[in-house]
Structure 1
Amino acid sequence: MNMSVLTLQEYEFEKQFNEHEAIQWMQENWKKSFLFSALYAAFIFGGRHLMNKRAKFELRKPLVLWSLSLAVFSIFGAVRTAPYMLYILMTKGLKQSVCDQSFYIGPVSKFWAYAFVLSKAPELGDTIFIILRKQKLIFLHWYHHITVLLYSWYSYKDMVAGGGWFMTMNYGVHAVMYSYYALRAAGFRVSRKFAMFITLSQITQMLVGCVINYLVFSWMQHGQCHSHVQNIIWSSLMYLSYFVLFCHFFFEAYIGKTTKARKVD
């Protein structure tokens, strides 16, 4: 397979996408992510209060459609961005794949980079189902949604280094994760090991994110990576906090429960 042909072959909607207008719009409007986050937080606490004395909604079919749509979107995003990143990595090396800003403006990837950051706003809708179905809402869930939205919009406007890695990894993990959610919502029995695999993938993603931040900082000192210290600090804190929270979730959800079950037996 000719990787260069695969990477540069564009669909018409990708060709027509104007990345310069997108970047300009984000530079002018990225702070609206704070408004979305505030409204989201208000909905969480207000919604939980309203649902305290109400019967839960089933919403099984809407949840299947919601999860399936996000799964399809993430699969397409992963399929379109991963070959591009792989091509850069194999032909130009690790440093270029991390530092090159072409992911934001290059063929194919430019559309999916913008689609990625915009998608973090509607993804907040995940929480609507949790609240209306009166399921357990953990801190990791809403903290992750808010911080990813804020950081994605904040970073896209500056086209910072490392973005290609961050977005491609997230597309890949979400492709698997939302497919799993769709299957579960549809009533299919999915192996517990598959859920463990997803969480381990998320933990790995956070570790790689920390490594990418370190590389960006190191190469930035030599003028080879476009970023700024403030962005790297926020990104590093975000990825480190995710790593700790996902590790804690993994222990509580899989190891802790198994240990307790053995003690009961």
Structure 2
Amino acid sequence: MKEYNQVTLPNYTYVFNFESDFIHQKTRTWMQDNWTLGFYYVGAYMVFIFGGQYLMQNRPRFELRGVLCLWNTILGTFSIIGACRTVPEFLHTLTHHGLYHSVCVPSFIEQDRVSGFWTWMFVLSKLPELGDTVFIVLRKQPLIFLHWYHHITVLLYSWFSYSEYTSSARWFIVMNYCVHSIMYSYFALRAAGYAPPRQIAMVITSLQLLQMVVGCAINLWAHQLLQKNIECHVTPFNVKLSIAMYFSYFVLFARFFYTTYVLKSNKKKNISASTAEYPLMKSKIH
């Protein structure tokens, strides 16, 4: 593994004070001491989901369109900023230090304060993102297993991985920021009353599927490196956990894509065909 003093960093146009003042050691110590709090948050989240759905059964749904638009706009803006601040380090690492470094050396936290700060923000953001479900419950919309399973596992895995400074997280964080930039912006437009083309929703789900494929590939490669006793700052347990998580995401998102875009599209075609045939059949009868 290359020594850290050989690591070069991207040239940022501007670095904010809160980024330059970021001290990663303090945040890691806090997460090592407190990452298990995530289980309590998840427990409260589950109680809210099923308790909230029960309480809303015989109540009128809340509209909350304005609040939902603001919520998605905030998360979309946050994701865009996070992507803009982490992508430069990611690309610089790939082009100047190679694939191995990008997967196995956590310099994005320990060396780069800009990327380190936004990595910390990414990890913390998984807690308020649980608020997405609040709107679904209060607006009495369908809550699928994929939604809450994804929120729970990402929160727990992100917090646990930060306590270990999992180096492969560089890939996961950048991909997530980029996909969420598009996804939350799309949701904000929908909440504001606009109707973006259906193809955009398909693109977002496709990007999520691609994210899972890349996540599995990165984890499998890291696992192979560990088996060959090649130094990589990822624990064997973390790799196995991450592979299981990303693979389960891929299966669930693939199923969602099929049922939402393929099956529904076929049903619409069949309905359209039946509607077109009906006048012709009627004319034959008469």
- The TM-score with structure 2 as length reference comes to 0.90
Are residues 1:253 and 2:257 paired?
Answer: no
Q: Distance in 1 between matches of 2:94 and 2:174?
A: 13
Partner of 1:73: 78
Are residues 1:241 and 2:248 paired?
Answer: yes
Which residue identity is paired with 2:262? I
Query: Contact 1:161–1:216 at 8 Å: present in 2 too?
Result: no
Query: Contact 2:85–2:115 at 8 Å: present in 1 too?
Result: yes
Shift, 1:100, TM fit:
1.2
Which structure has the bigger radius of gyration? 2
Partner of 1:156: 162
Q: Distance in 1 between matches of 2:130 and 2:159?
A: 14
Deviations 1:38-84 (A, max 9, x none): 10001000000000010000000100010000000000000000111
1:78-89 to 2 correspondence within 5 Å?
Answer: 78-89=83-94
Shift, 1:219, TM fit:
2.0
Query: Contact 1:103–1:163 at 8 Å: present in 2 too?
Result: no
1:1-265 to 2 correspondence within 5 Å?
Answer: 4-6=10-12, 9-105=14-110, 106-220=112-226, 221-264=228-271, 265=273
What SS does the corresponding residue of 1:6 show, helix, strand or coil?
A: coil
Q: Distance in 1 between matches of 2:55 and 2:247?
A: 34
Q: Distance in 2 between matches of 1:255 and 1:243?
A: 17
Q: Distance in 2 between matches of 1:130 and 1:26?
A: 30
Q: Distance in 1 between matches of 2:173 and 2:195?
A: 30
Q: Distance in 1 between matches of 2:237 and 2:102?
A: 21
What SS does the corresponding residue of 2:230 show, helix, strand or coil?
A: coil
Which residue identity is paired with 1:248? R
Shift, 1:224, TM fit:
2.3
Query: Contact 1:120–1:149 at 8 Å: present in 2 too?
Result: yes
Shift, 1:181, TM fit:
0.3
Which residue identity is paired with 2:62? F
Q: Judge which range, 163-172 or 219-228, deviates more.
A: 219-228
Which residue identity is paired with 1:108? V
Q: Distance in 2 between matches of 1:81 and 1:59?
A: 33
Query: Contact 1:100–1:161 at 8 Å: present in 2 too?
Result: yes
Structure 1: runs of 5 or more not aligned: none
Query: Contact 2:168–2:218 at 8 Å: present in 1 too?
Result: yes
Q: Distance in 2 between matches of 1:161 and 1:6?
A: 22
CA RMSD, aligned part only?
Answer: 1.1
Q: Distance in 2 between matches of 1:5 and 1:147?
A: 34
Shift, 1:5, TM fit:
1.4
Equivalent residues, number: 262
Q: Distance in 2 between matches of 1:130 and 1:206?
A: 24
Shift, 1:18, TM fit:
1.6
Query: Contact 2:24–2:109 at 8 Å: present in 1 too?
Result: yes
